[in-house]
Amino acid sequence: MKAPRDDTPVTFQTTQIGSHGRYVLDIDDIMTFPDIGHIPVLPHKPGESWFILTEIVSNISIGRPTFRVEDKLEGNYWVVAFYTDNPVEDARDCVPGSLICIKNRRPHRFLDGRYGFRIDDPSRVLVLPCTMARLKELNNSLRERSNAGLLLTCVVCNTPVRRGCERCETRYCSQECQRQDWPNHKRVCKVLKTLHE
Ligand SMILES: [Zn+2]
Ligand SMILES: [Zn+2]
């Protein structure tokens, strides 16, 4: 007998919990994704992480890559400037309408009086090809599917399925469903991968 292929539909209960069965990293969680009013006062402790989510509004570089960004709370603006060893390379994906996600940084007051984030360590920054509005939509839909016990089912037809997209864990019962969803999925795969992590 042939072993079942990974994309073979299977039937099993989807009520199990665990990192794969439930969506746990919710961007509405202000402890993990603080907005301007909720950034921790003290530097992070070992093992503690928070992420600043901002959308690039415009490129205001004069020499050094520098961006005007909007907070998760609309109407709050910051400056993000790259002071890394290879700033141009590290900021290559920074275009208006994309997100800059910064780990464990407290706001910095620049010499010209503006507030924002000074990026010294490129490993603390992730640029995602996605607007804040789109990220919020994806976040809400993941949370709804998780609350409904559907995180382990095909996103196209809700058939329970064991394995997901190799990168982001989005689940498909068949190549047909995966192909059908691809025009939407290709734009959000990287973002979803990050949300799941
Ligand atoms: Zn399906
Ligand atoms: Zn994917």
Distance 178 CA to ligand 2 centre (A): 10
DSSP string covering 15-67? ---STTTS----TT-TTTS--TT---SSPPPTT---EEEEEEEEE--BSB-EE
Distance between Cα 107 and ligand 1 center (Å): 45
Separation of CA 105 and ligand 2 centre (Å): 29
More confident position, 168 or 173: 173
**pLDDT for residue 187:** 79
Count Cβ neighbours within 10 Å for each residue of 8-35 and write b for 16 or more, e otherwise: eeeeeeeeeeeeeeebeeebeeeeebbe
Higher pLDDT, 76 or 163: 76
> Sorting pLDDT into bands at 50, 70 and 90, what band is 120?
very high
pLDDT at 20: 58
> 74: exposed, middle or buried (C-beta count within 10 Å: 0-12, 13-18, 19+)?
exposed
Q: What structural domains does the chain harbor? A: 1-21+149-197 (no CATH), 51-130 (2.40.50.140)
What's the gap in Å between 79 CA and the centre of ligand 2?
31
Report how far ligand 1's centroid is from the alpha carbon of 10 (Å).
Answer: 11
Say how many Å lie between the CA of residue 72 and the centre of ligand 2.
24
Q: Strands 125-128, 66-71: parallel, antiparallel or unpaired by DSSP?
A: unpaired
The residues, ordered by sequence, that sit 6+ positions from 102 with a Cβ below 8 Å of its Cβ are 51, 52, 54, 80, 117, 119, 124, 125
Ligand nearest to the CA of 153: 1
Helix (H, G, I), strand (E, B) or coil at 181: helix
Mean pLDDT of the chain: 84
Average pLDDT over residues 34-58: 88
Query: Quick check: 73 and 34 in contact, CB under 8 A?
Result: no
Give the strand pairing for 115-119 and 77-82.
Answer: parallel
Give kind and range of the element (H or E) at residue 125.
strand 125-128
